[in-house]
Every structure is written in C-alpha cells, then in structure tokens.
Amino acid sequence: MSFRSSLLQCAALSAVILTSLPAAAADEVRPDEIIVTASPIGRTVEETIIGTSVISEDELRQRLENTIGETLRREPGVSSTYFGPGASRPVIRGLAGDRISVLDGGIGSIDASATSPDHAVAVEPAMAERIEIVRGPATLLYGSSAAGGVVNVISGRIPRALPEDRADGALRIGKSTVDDGVEAAGGFDLEAFDVGAGAVVFHGEGHYRKADDFKVPGFVESALLRQIEDEEAILAGEPLEEHPRDLAENSAFETKGGSVGASWVFDRGFFGVSATAGNTDYGVPGHAHEDDEGGVTIALKQRRLDLDGEIDRDLLIFKKTKIRFGYADYEHSEIEPSGEVGTTFTNEGFEGRLEFIDKTTRALGGDLNGAFGVQFKKRDFAAIGEEAFVPPTLSKQFGVFTLKELALGPWRLEAGGRYERTTHEVEATGERREFDAVSVSGGVGFEPVDGVFFGVSGFRTERAPSTEELFSDGPHLATASFEVGDPALDEEVGRGAEATARFGNARIAFSVNGFYTSYKNFIYETATGDVEDDLPVFQFVGDDAVFKGFEAAVEAELFKVGAFDVHGDAAFDYVRARADSAAGKIDLPRIPPKSGLFGIEAKSPCVDLRGEVEWAGEQRKVGPNELPTDSYTLYNAYLTFRPFTDDLALRVAATNLTNEEARNHASFLKDLLPLPGRNIRVSLTGTF
C-alpha cells in the first residue's frame, strides 16, 4: 500500500470518527491530569494555585532530547544550564543549581549535577511516563533543594497498576542528523502471577544513545567573544588565531543503562522495588586545558535502588499512606586529554519520604483535607583530584511538613509549614555547620464558575546553604573560575507571592502566573577582581535580591479541515532578577531573557502535523563580567504518522530549520558553544 492510499484511507476513517464524537470530546484542549508533585492530596493542574504543568508521554516522545534540561527548555518559565548535549539541568524562573530539585519518581537524583553545570543529571527520561514541573517554591514538600521549583520524572520503573491484557510495553529506535546520533529504548510490564488479593508485576527497560560532535551554524564562539580575542591579540602583538567553526568539538556522548523492577499490585495499593544502572561518557566543550589538545571527557556511572508503596486504607486519622525510598552510589571521573583521570567525584546517599493523607472531615461548613509527612536524606560527597574545589563533606537533612486544605463552595483555602534541620560536616577537618529552617505558605483559590479559576498564595521559605556555597576553595575550569565559599553564610530567606488566573472550556484554555520574591541573604557567586591559578576569583556571597516575572499560555481549537482538527498554542515568559551588592544594585548573571513559543498543529487519527516558532529575546541586563546575548528565532516542524494503528508511530522532528545561530544566556558556555544547527530526527515507536 502506498503512503498516499494509506493516508486517504486514514483520512476517511478519521472523518467518520470525528463526526461521531461529541464536540467536547473531539475538541478537548487540556485533559485533567493529577499532578502528584504539587500536592500529596492529589490535584489536577487546573486546581493548583501555583504554576504547574505536566509533559505527557506522547509529548515526551515528540520532544525528547538527550538531557532533562533540553527536553524541558521550551516550557514556559523553564530554561537550561546547557553545557553541551551531555549535561543540561533545568533553570526555573532564573533559578538553578541547588535551588531546583530534579526528582526520579519523587526521590532526588542523588548525583553531583547541582555541584557544577558540566555534571550530568543521572535521571534518564528515555522511557518516562510523564514529567511534572512545579514552578516556584516547593520547599514545604521537598526541602531546601526545591526553593526554586521541582522537576519530577515519573519513570514507571515500579509498576503502580496492572497492565492491560497482562502485558504492555514500548520500543523506540531513532536517528538524528546534526550529530549522526542513534538511539534505542524499550520497556515492558508483565503481570506474572497472583499473590493473595493482588498480582506481581515485573518491569524491565533499557536504553542506548550515541552521537558524534554536533554541527553548529558558522562560528563556535560568539561574535563579541571573537572580537575581544582578536583585540587582545593585536594589543599583545600576537598573530590572530583562526576561530573554530561548523563543529562543536568534544561534544560527543554515549549513554546506556537499564532497570528491572517488581511490584505487588492489589486492590487498594501497591508495593514495589527496582534496581537501576546507568553509564554515560560525554565530552565537555570548553573544558580543555589551555596547553592541551582536545578536551576533558566525563565517565559517569550510577547504581540505584528504589522502593515505592501506597496503601489506600484507613490508618487512625489517615486514609492513605505513601512511602518512598531511594539509595544511589554515584561516581564520575573527569578524564584529561592524555587519558589520565584529573578529578573524581563520588556521591553515596539515600533519601526517604513517608506521607500520610488525612481523612476528609467537616470544618467551618466545608471539607477539610490535609497531609502530614517526613523526609530524610544523607549525602556523602567527595571530590578527589587537581580540580577538587569542594572538600569531602557529609550532609544530613531531616524535615517534617504538614499541609491543610479547606473547600468552602467555590473557595479553597490552603496552608502549610515545614521544619527542616540540615548539617554539613567537612570530613577532613571536622568543620561543621548546622541550620534550622522553617518555611510556611498559604493561599486562596476561587472558582466562580466551571472553567474559571483565580488564586493567590504567599510564602516565606528558608534554604540552608549548600556544601559548594560554604566550602568551595579551588579552581573550577568548567566555569573558568577559582571558586571560594564562605563557611559563615546563613540561611537564605525568601518572601514572596504568586497570583494565577485560568480560563478553560472544550475549545480554549488560558493561564497566566505572576510571581514576586524578595530574598534576604540570596547566595550567588560574584567576581572579586583577584586572580588565582590564572583564573578569576569568584566568591560566594549573600545579598538581598528580588526576582519577579510571569508566564502566560493559551491553547485553542481553531477549525477543522477534513479529518484534521487544527489547534493553536502560544506561551510567553519573563523574569527579572537584581541584587543589592556591596557595589550597589546589579543584575544577576545568567538570567534567561524573555522568550516565547508559538505553534499550530493539525491532528487526525493517522497523521499529526505541527509547526512552531521558538523565540528568545536579547539579554542586555547582564551581571558583572558577563557578556550580553543576542536574540534568536528558531523554526521547528513535527510529523507523526500512524499508518495502521495507534500502536505504531513514525515521528519526524525538524528543529532549527533555518540553521540559525542561537545561544542560551543561562549557560556558562553561551559564548563558547551555540545550540545545535539544523537537525532532522526520525524515530519509530511501537507499543503493545
């Protein structure tokens, strides 16, 4: 059968299906999805007062990149720390590092990714069921490391429900042109045998990706950096060097891993375990030593065990109990061009959570719901070698939190609090810091009619300084700096408010979130003007700072053309961040510029088409010793073709169609490394 005849048959079939559907079912633009990361009580995206979103499994298949940061960077309010295709962590509302918690099924990634932007996140999104994003403080639930937001990858490695027809699974293979990359990933759930009132479900999955150095449009370095380098050479009486172009050297990577798990799934809950192994080798562009040829590569490995369980039965005043636990042994070695290991980072740790969901009771004429929980974690971190800028440190944290929600007709009142104790101890010297942090929040939601929601929330959060902020003292070539911590730093205190408004029906959905946060003792790095080991010295300091901005998004069903339902969407975000430094008011570094994404999509039962424009404005409000960044506009197109059944899909993603030079201002490497050039990625997915 030819593509043309297959398409015509699909079109005819889809016309029959669409005309038989109710209008609301055919036109639904935003399904209700429970977002477990935002609240243990269980609320949909449309019911949350703070900014949240869910990236569905189908969207992930279309937009999946090599890292979590690049996969999510087109979401409103989200950017990335882009350090090449091997390492990229999410940036939410201008906040990054230890303020953004990347979770794997509700438990931290237990790696070294928050230590430096050239360190990869050990959470693999290849077979994820969905990714949940919480913008703004999620400190009450997830602690100090979530002071700026949460990204939770729901992996599905521990089955929570019985598969249909006793087995299901998926397999994906793919190829990309910009880096000659290949990928393969697959997973399955199998209902093996009955145990008591339930059944045991086995899970297995694996992934493999490999790519060469990627192509870039023109010069690798930015025009402004090339100009500075040429002027310095002329002043020094040295010959001008040829600037590299067309290829991002040392950006190749290879990653592979897998997981096995099993769950006992019963009528009112589940209990399961999983074991995961992952290995990644990747180059670090811009991390070459001055006199060496080539660059540094990183060999990363992690071995992880997870436990997850939920019992939906009464226990005293609680109706549901959830338990999660994760243990990981992480190591990565930074390998010099000579083949010798320069620095090795290790992190062995565990994290656990226990949550109790209240029974619904009557109070003040309304329904009162709530949750109580405890969280604990331990981190034994060490860096050994010539770039060991952080000493081996043992960190422990214990937190207890509670949330309450009162529903009074169209009104909903929320309140919560958390107490957290954090200790950091330098193992070699016994130097120790202890922090007691208290965070509280409250909010009001109002739904005057179905589909219309207004909410406002206020918060006061406290974040304990990280080990890097306290104890750094050494060269950090990834960021071209000599980093110096301050062991006397106090807790970072944030006070702020967020307002949200949403409107939605079967044909249109609109949302806007505005936020304002004032920080006392906001911790960041600033240049001192000194030089050590031929590197500029950057000192961690605590100053007052203000972050403010908004995200807005709209989706709409536009019209129908034959079998195709045409849908449009647009999103826009903006963040502004300034600090009161010793030298006066300054703009904070690496704050993403205003950006937008505008798309139009045509869907039918057999073919989906999407075109989009991705835009980022120029960033001229830069921090000390930081260069400005030009704006860019990228054009992307996507095709999904299901010739016979929904279980088989061919996807083609064409990104940066005009091969434009684009640089991510939130990246330390933005003047040394642009985003990839024109890329065609083809993947074939089969499910059963």
> Which tens digits make up the pLDDT trace of 335-367?
988 889 989 999 999 999 999 999 988 888 899
Which residue in this structure is represented by tokens 């993403």?
Answer: 592
| Whether pLDDT at 64 is above 80 | yes
Q: CA angle 649-652-656, nearest 5°?
A: 155
- Rounded distance, CA 27 to CA 505, Å? 9
| Whether pLDDT at 19 is above 60 | no
Q: What is the DSSP string of 99-155?
A: GEEEEETTEE--SSTTT-TTSPP----TT-SEEEEEES--HHHH-GGGSSEEEEEE-
Q: Which of 154-158, 525-529, 587-591 has the lowest mean pLDDT?
A: 525-529
- Three-state DSSP at 281 gives strand
Read off the pLDDT band of 98 (50, 70, 90): very high
- Rounded distance, CA 469 to CA 476, Å? 13
- Rounded distance, CA 472 to CA 498, Å? 34
Q: Which of 217-221, 334-338, 495-499, 638-642 has the lowest mean pLDDT?
A: 334-338
Instruction: Count the neighbouring beta carbons within 10 Å of the beta carbon of residue 52.
Output: 26
Average pLDDT over residues 296-300: 93
The dihedral built from the CA positions of residue 18, 22, 25 and 27, taken in this order, carries a sign that is positive
Q: Which of 194-208, 459-473, 527-541, 559-573 has the lowest mean pLDDT?
A: 527-541
Tokens in use for 662? 């684009």
Average pLDDT over residues 129-152: 90
- Amino acid present at 653: A
What pLDDT is stored for residue 46 in this prediction?
78
Percent helix / strand / coil, the chain, rounded to 5: 10, 55, 35
- Rounded distance, CA 671 to CA 286, Å? 10
CA dihedral 503, 509, 514, 515 (to 10 degrees): 110
Query: When comparing pLDDT for 39 and 312, which is higher?
Result: 312
- Rounded distance, CA 368 to CA 365, Å? 9
How deeply is 384 buried, as exposed, middle or buried, from its count of CB atoms within 10 A (0-12, 13-18, 19+)? middle
- Show me where the domains of the chain are located: 3-243+258-290+298-687
What pLDDT is stored for residue 27 in this prediction?
41
Answer whether 478's CB lies under 8 Å from 334's CB: no
> Which tens digits make up the pLDDT trace of 159-191?
999 998 899 999 999 999 999 999 999 999 999
- Rounded distance, CA 419 to CA 595, Å? 36
Read off the pLDDT band of 32 (50, 70, 90): low
- Rounded distance, CA 271 to CA 199, Å? 11
| Whether pLDDT at 23 is above 50 | no
What pLDDT is stored for residue 12 in this prediction?
37
What pLDDT is stored for residue 9 in this prediction?
37
- Rounded distance, CA 100 to CA 109, Å? 11
Q: Who contacts 684 (Cβ-Cβ below 8 Å, separation ≥6)?
A: 172, 173, 174, 648, 649, 650, 651
The dihedral built from the CA positions of residue 200, 201, 202 and 203, taken in this order, carries a sign that is negative
| Whether pLDDT at 227 is above 60 | yes
What pLDDT is stored for residue 232 in this prediction?
92
- The fraction of the chain above a pLDDT of 90, given in percent, is 77
Answer whether 284's CB lies under 8 Å from 84's CB: yes
Average pLDDT over residues 238-246: 92
272: left (phi over 0), alpha (psi -120 to 50) or beta: beta
Tokens in use for 265? 């799934």
- Three-state DSSP at 391 gives coil
Q: Are β-strands 393-408 and 366-385 bridged in parallel, bridged antiparallel, or unpaired?
A: antiparallel
| Whether pLDDT at 634 is above 70 | yes
- Rounded distance, CA 588 to CA 595, Å? 18
Of 284, 65, 283, whose CA–CA distance to 181 is shortest?
65
> Which tens digits make up the pLDDT trace of 417-452?
999 999 999 998 999 999 999 999 999 999 999 999
| Whether pLDDT at 293 is above 80 | no
- What is the architecture, at CATH level 2, of domain 3-243+258-290+298-687? Beta Barrel (2.40)
* Residue 164 DSSP code: G
Average pLDDT over residues 308-317: 90
- What is the average pLDDT score of the chain? 90
Q: 139-174 in b/e burial notation, b at 16+ Cβ within 10 A?
A: bbbbbbbbbbbbbbbbbbbbbbebbeeeebbbebeb
What pLDDT is stored for residue 38 in this prediction?
77
- The fraction of the chain above a pLDDT of 70, given in percent, is 94
Helix (H) or strand (E) holding 375: strand 366-385
| Whether pLDDT at 298 is above 70 | yes
* Residue 480 DSSP code: T
Query: When comparing pLDDT for 625 and 426, which is higher?
Result: 426
| Max Cα distance, the chain (Å) | 83
Q: CA angle 106-110-115, nearest 5°?
A: 120
Half-sphere exposure for 302 (CA within 13 Å, toward CB): 31
What pLDDT is stored for residue 49 in this prediction?
87
- Rounded distance, CA 160 to CA 178, Å? 38
